[in-house]
Amino acid sequence: MEKLNNTDLVALLLAIGTMLILSRIVAELGKRWKMPVVMGELLVGIALGPTILGTFNPELFNTLFPLKTNPHFSIALDGIVSLSVILLLFVAGMEVQLPVVLRQGKAAITTGLGSMILPFATGFAIAWWKPEWFGLTAAQGDGYIFPIFLGTALSISALPVIARILMDLNLFKTNIGMIIIASAMFNDLIGWLVFSFILSYAGKNGAEHMSVWTTVVAILAFGAFMLFVGRKLIDKVLPWVQTKLSWPGGVLALCMSVCMFSAAFTESIHIHAILGAFIAGIAIGDSVHLREQAREIIHQFVTNFFAPLFFVSIGLKVNFIDNFDWLTVTIILVLAFIGKVAGASIGARLGGIDKRSSLAIGFGLNARGAMEIILGTLAYDAGLISQTVFVALVIMALITSLSSGPLMRRYTTELT
Amino acid sequence: MDYSKLKRRASYPFETIAVAVAFSPRLEALVSEGAVLAKSCGAKLLLIHIGERTRNKESKLDDLVTKLQLKEDQYRILWNDGDPVESLLHLCKLNVVDLLILGAMKKESLLQYYLGSVARKISRKAKCSVLLLTDPANEGTVFKKMVVNGVENPKTVYTINTAVYFGKCVSTSEVFVVTEIHQPGLAMTMADEATAGEMTRIKKENKAEELERVHAIVTRCQRQGDMEICEKTISGKPGYAIRHYAEQKKANLLVVNSPDQKLGLIDRIFTHDIEYILEDLPCNVLIVHSRVNETT
């Protein structure tokens, strides 16, 4: 068995330590200006990566992150980053609670649908009509995959950012707040299902293995099995694990192993591992027996160790200055704002919400945050998008997250 | 059909109480419960049977009302054919029933639960309050301890008032008005950005806000006699948390709002709110249907 030698291990540990401590320091500083944690983590990645450190001090960059010179280091870091994204999707799934969508009734369903259909349609149409705007040649632009991807990327929402904004605006427990939360859950569920299809069908690993219909059937069958049968089984096992096994070791082991097995299964049938992790998260997170404390521990563990590694690593892959293109960024930003705000607002209006609150809902759901960045990274890694589109998606995720709160505040003053 | 008498009719007092008669082994206990409650509330008693009217059934019911010493002006027996759920609900509307009493299994088999038993179906659809008795007794159930939902909903104030009224009728001594705190997405948000102090403060503030809200409703409700009303907040999913609390408290009655929307199979698969209670009744359950916001 090939092993990491002493030098590889030292390099890996130094890199992880640097990523963790710097991202925490910048995130804490950023909190003073209400900057999302993910932004601090990305900035650290940009500073440590080819954009800044790699340009001004390439020697130090290569010493700290010997990605090109040390294949062992590169593979080990890639393994950790892959594990990070699997766990991030797992905790994102844990917060998707379908009963919350059901209990909000018509307004949540129409808002959820509106906030998906319009951004998806605008993204799909523009990518189909003008592929060259996204750096695709006419031949590359012929397929459906990039338009479906862009549509999906524009329709996703970021539940953690949205929840934080609602809390800051004191709207979390209001009807509007719950409609936004339920719609974001709905967006995430459908968005990740569609994205798994894209990755499975068109990704580097999947294309030669499965047809469109096999991929769709496999995704739906796995989702249905986990949500109907797996969920009930977990519900039966959890009380026993939480009372009879050591705390919190027992429940952590159960949750993590269900996540890993589920991710391994979907990867083995050529659907991306993220789907397995996401659906496992829904199945576990929905259980009434999962103690709130256990939920918090899992979130702390993933958000404070794996999330910074993942988001910092993004900056290590891409040069954000070289790949910054005004036109692409502007087009993606305009599409993101128009599609999401208009779609969600129209959906809310159809659900019986007044005009002002509907606009607040639209701006609330516009925050894309970490979820968009994860989606963009996976698409970039799978060779679906160029570095330019990836950079534009990251910038869009940050701008929509930063603007969501202030814009929402304009329409919610009388609701609080 | 003219249902105008039902429009905006208050959920209490209970002027007409109906018992769904199914000629099961629990027939006597159930009719006795109806008679006791009708007497306590000063209400008329309706015995409704949906199914074939036979001599045998008639004589059984006659024997029973004689045994319970019910006078002719105190009760009426209604017979009807057709679908048990629809016919029963139709007769309840037609006769302006305020409270319908049903016998119910504590927990049903998985298949029966998903398909929906008569008692559960009526609980989801009824346009009057429904009392589900898990263990009806010939001498009448004692409703000493009552747990009432204090969920944030316009119906809640009517539910609490109805519970207090009912509590007075049945000599309840302890009432717990319970509100459930459930904030999906909070754990993820807090893990990302909050300090330990901020997390504790947010949780405390949420709890205090909820208590204040419930207290405001309880203050407005019409307290009866020396009934003790306690206000509580509990964490957990709505429906499940209060069911668990009622079990822990060994309550005799759990009082909840009627569903806000039409519930179907999907609501049983992805269980939420009242479905958690119907899935496994923690004790007797009173589902209060307040008609205040209704147009028909």
pLDDT exceeds 80 at position A407? yes
CATH number, domain containing residue A345: 1.20.1530.20
Chain B residue numbers with beta carbons less than 8 Å from the beta carbon of A97 are 184
Give per-residue pLDDT as tens, B263-278.
Answer: 888 888 888 899 999 9
Considering the domain architecture, whether residues B177 and B61 belong to the same structural domain is answered as: no
A228 and B269 within 8 Å at the Cβ level: the answer is: yes
Q: Write the CA distances from A182 to A24, A104, A286, integer angstroms.
A: 30, 7, 14
CATH number, domain containing residue B185: 3.40.50.620
Residue A296 lies in a domain: yes
B contact test, residue of A32, A87, A167, A235 with most B CBs within 10 A? A167
Chain A residue numbers with beta carbons less than 8 Å from the beta carbon of B183 are 172-173
| Maximal C-alpha separation, chain B | 74
Domain count, chain A: 2
Considering the domain architecture, whether residues B128 and B219 belong to the same structural domain is answered as: no
Chain A residue numbers with beta carbons less than 8 Å from the beta carbon of B270 are 98-99, 102, 286
Our CA-based measurement puts residue B40 at a distance from the nearest CA of chain A, in whole angstroms, of 36
Considering the domain architecture, whether residues B124 and B15 belong to the same structural domain is answered as: yes
* DSSP letter string, A358-391: HHHHHHHHT--HHHHHHHHHHHHHTTSS-HHHHH
pLDDT exceeds 90 at position A257? yes
Domain carrying residue B120: 1-138
A167 and B273 within 8 Å at the Cβ level: the answer is: no
Considering the domain architecture, whether residues B275 and B187 belong to the same structural domain is answered as: yes
Considering the domain architecture, whether residues A370 and A247 belong to the same structural domain is answered as: yes
* DSSP letter string, A136-153: --TTGGGSSHHHHHHHHH
CB count within 10 Å of CB B24 equals 9
Give per-residue pLDDT as tens, A332-381.
Answer: 999 999 999 999 999 999 999 999 999 999 999 999 888 899 999 999 98
Say how far apart CA A226 and CA B39 lie, in whole Å.
52
When pLDDT is cut at 50, 70 and 90, the band that residue B203 belongs to is: confident
Our CA-based measurement puts residue B181 at a distance from the nearest CA of chain A, in whole angstroms, of 9
Residue A87 lies in a domain: yes
Q: What is the pTM of this model?
A: 0.86
Do β-strands B44-50 and B16-21 pair in parallel, antiparallel, or remain unpaired? parallel
A160 and B184 within 8 Å at the Cβ level: the answer is: no
**pLDDT value for A412:** 77
Residues B110-131, mean pLDDT to the nearest whole number: 86
Considering the domain architecture, whether residues B182 and B274 belong to the same structural domain is answered as: yes
Considering the domain architecture, whether residues B185 and B120 belong to the same structural domain is answered as: no
Considering the domain architecture, whether residues A22 and A66 belong to the same structural domain is answered as: yes
Which residues, in sequence order, are bridge partners of residue B231?
B177
pLDDT exceeds 90 at position A399? yes
B273 and A95 within 8 Å at the Cβ level: the answer is: no
**Domain termination residue (choose one: B111, B138, B165):** B138
Of A102, A303, A307, the CB nearest to B272: A102
When pLDDT is cut at 50, 70 and 90, the band that residue B2 belongs to is: low
**Domain termination residue (choose one: A49, A79, A109):** A79
B188 and A299 within 8 Å at the Cβ level: the answer is: yes
B192 and A164 within 8 Å at the Cβ level: the answer is: yes
A31 touching B (Cβ < 8 Å) = yes
Of B183, B270, B276, the CB nearest to A98: B270
> Exposed/middle/buried for B296, CB within 10 Å: 0-12, 13-18, 19+?
exposed
Considering the domain architecture, whether residues B84 and B163 belong to the same structural domain is answered as: no
Chain A residue numbers with beta carbons less than 8 Å from the beta carbon of B152 are 173
**pLDDT value for A388:** 94
pLDDT exceeds 80 at position B70? yes
Chain A residue numbers with beta carbons less than 8 Å from the beta carbon of B262 are none
Nearest chain A Cα to B199, which residue? A296
Which residues, in sequence order, are bridge partners of residue B99?
B17, B129
A299 and B187 within 8 Å at the Cβ level: the answer is: yes
Residue A49 lies in a domain: yes
Considering the domain architecture, whether residues A168 and A49 belong to the same structural domain is answered as: no
Contacts of B169 (CB under 8 A, 6+ apart): B14, B37, B40, B41
CB count within 10 Å of CB A262 equals 26
Higher pLDDT, A159 or B30: B30
Our CA-based measurement puts residue B222 at a distance from the nearest CA of chain A, in whole angstroms, of 27
Cβ burial A19-45 (10 Å sphere, 16+ → b, else e): bbebbbebbeebeeeebbbbbbbbbbb
A160 and B273 within 8 Å at the Cβ level: the answer is: no
Chain A residue numbers with beta carbons less than 8 Å from the beta carbon of B154 are none
**Domain termination residue (choose one: B100, B118, B138):** B138
Q: Which helix (H) or strand (E) holds B229?
A: strand B228-235
Say how far apart CA A42 and CA A47 lie, in whole Å.
9
Give per-residue pLDDT as tens, A295-316.
Answer: 889 998 898 899 999 999 999 9
Considering the domain architecture, whether residues B119 and B152 belong to the same structural domain is answered as: no
CB count within 10 Å of CB A376 equals 24
**Domain termination residue (choose one: B138, B162, B182):** B138
Considering the domain architecture, whether residues A176 and A91 belong to the same structural domain is answered as: yes
Our CA-based measurement puts residue A226 at a distance from the nearest CA of chain B, in whole angstroms, of 13
B184 and A228 within 8 Å at the Cβ level: the answer is: no
Say how far apart CA A220 and CA B290 lie, in whole Å.
41
**Domain termination residue (choose one: A79, A97, A126):** A79
CB count within 10 Å of CB A94 equals 28
The SS3 of residue B233 is strand
Asked if B118 and B41 count as a contact pair (C-beta separation under 8 A), the reply is: no
When pLDDT is cut at 50, 70 and 90, the band that residue A323 belongs to is: very high
Residue A1 lies in a domain: no
- Size of the A and B interface in Cβ pairs below 8 Å: 81
Q: Which of A201-205, A286-290, B256-260 is predicted least confidently?
A: A201-205
A100 and B273 within 8 Å at the Cβ level: the answer is: no
pLDDT exceeds 90 at position A144? no
What percentage of chain A carries pLDDT values higher than 90?
56
Work out the mean pLDDT of chain A and round it to a whole number: 89
Considering the domain architecture, whether residues A65 and A99 belong to the same structural domain is answered as: no
Angle at B260 between CA A112 and CA B268, to 5 degrees: 75
Give per-residue pLDDT as tens, A93-131.
Answer: 998 888 888 888 888 999 999 999 999 999 999 999 988
CB count within 10 Å of CB A128 equals 17
Our CA-based measurement puts residue B278 at a distance from the nearest CA of chain A, in whole angstroms, of 15
A163 and B189 within 8 Å at the Cβ level: the answer is: yes
**pLDDT value for B5:** 64
Asked if B296 and B3 count as a contact pair (C-beta separation under 8 A), the reply is: yes
Considering the domain architecture, whether residues B123 and B244 belong to the same structural domain is answered as: no
The complex's ipTM works out to 0.80
**pLDDT value for B165:** 92
Considering the domain architecture, whether residues A94 and A162 belong to the same structural domain is answered as: yes
Do β-strands B75-80 and B16-21 pair in parallel, antiparallel, or remain unpaired? unpaired
A103 and B273 within 8 Å at the Cβ level: the answer is: yes
A99 and B260 within 8 Å at the Cβ level: the answer is: no
A contact test, residue of B181, B188, B274 with most A CBs within 10 A? B188
Say how far apart CA B251 and CA B271 lie, in whole Å.
23
Give per-residue pLDDT as tens, A282-295.
Answer: 999 989 889 888 98
Considering the domain architecture, whether residues B182 and B124 belong to the same structural domain is answered as: no
Give per-residue pLDDT as tens, A221-242.
Answer: 999 999 889 988 998 999 999 8
Our CA-based measurement puts residue B236 at a distance from the nearest CA of chain A, in whole angstroms, of 8
Considering the domain architecture, whether residues A286 and A310 belong to the same structural domain is answered as: yes
When pLDDT is cut at 50, 70 and 90, the band that residue B295 belongs to is: very low
Half-sphere exposure for A303 (CA within 13 Å, toward CB): 24
Say how far apart CA A206 and CA A106 lie, in whole Å.
37
Residue A298 lies in a domain: yes
When pLDDT is cut at 50, 70 and 90, the band that residue B194 belongs to is: confident
Considering the domain architecture, whether residues B81 and B198 belong to the same structural domain is answered as: no
Q: Which of A160-174, A216-230, B57-71 is predicted least confidently?
A: A160-174
pLDDT exceeds 50 at position B296? no
Considering the domain architecture, whether residues A111 and A72 belong to the same structural domain is answered as: no
**Domain termination residue (choose one: A20, A53, A79):** A79
Question: Two tokens at A405?
Answer: 């709160």
B contact test, residue of A292, A298, A301, A365 with most B CBs within 10 A? A292
Question: Two tokens at A399?
Answer: 């701008």
A164 and B269 within 8 Å at the Cβ level: the answer is: no
Do β-strands B16-21 and B174-181 pair in parallel, antiparallel, or remain unpaired? unpaired
Domain count, chain B: 2
Residue A336 lies in a domain: yes
pLDDT exceeds 80 at position B222? no
In residues, how long is chain B? Answer: 296
Considering the domain architecture, whether residues B2 and B108 belong to the same structural domain is answered as: yes
A37 and B193 within 8 Å at the Cβ level: the answer is: yes
A217 touching B (Cβ < 8 Å) = no
Nearest chain B Cα to A295, which residue? B187
Work out the mean pLDDT of chain B and round it to a whole number: 88
Residue A314 lies in a domain: yes
Question: Two tokens at B56?
Answer: 């045998």
Considering the domain architecture, whether residues A62 and A95 belong to the same structural domain is answered as: no
B184 and A164 within 8 Å at the Cβ level: the answer is: no
Considering the domain architecture, whether residues A58 and A175 belong to the same structural domain is answered as: no
List, edge to edge, every strand of the sheet that includes B284-288. Answer: B75-80, B44-50, B16-21, B99-103, B129-133, B284-288, B253-257, B145-149, B174-181, B228-235
A162 and B186 within 8 Å at the Cβ level: the answer is: no
Phi, then psi, of A143 in degrees rounded to 5: -75, 170
Residue A147 lies in a domain: yes
Nearest chain B Cα to A228, which residue? B269
pLDDT exceeds 70 at position A209? no
Domain carrying residue A226: 82-412
Residues B14-34, mean pLDDT to the nearest whole number: 93
Question: Two tokens at B81?
Answer: 């054919």
Chain A residue numbers with beta carbons less than 8 Å from the beta carbon of B149 are none
Considering the domain architecture, whether residues A61 and A122 belong to the same structural domain is answered as: no
A225 touching B (Cβ < 8 Å) = no
When pLDDT is cut at 50, 70 and 90, the band that residue A3 belongs to is: confident
A286 and B238 within 8 Å at the Cβ level: the answer is: no
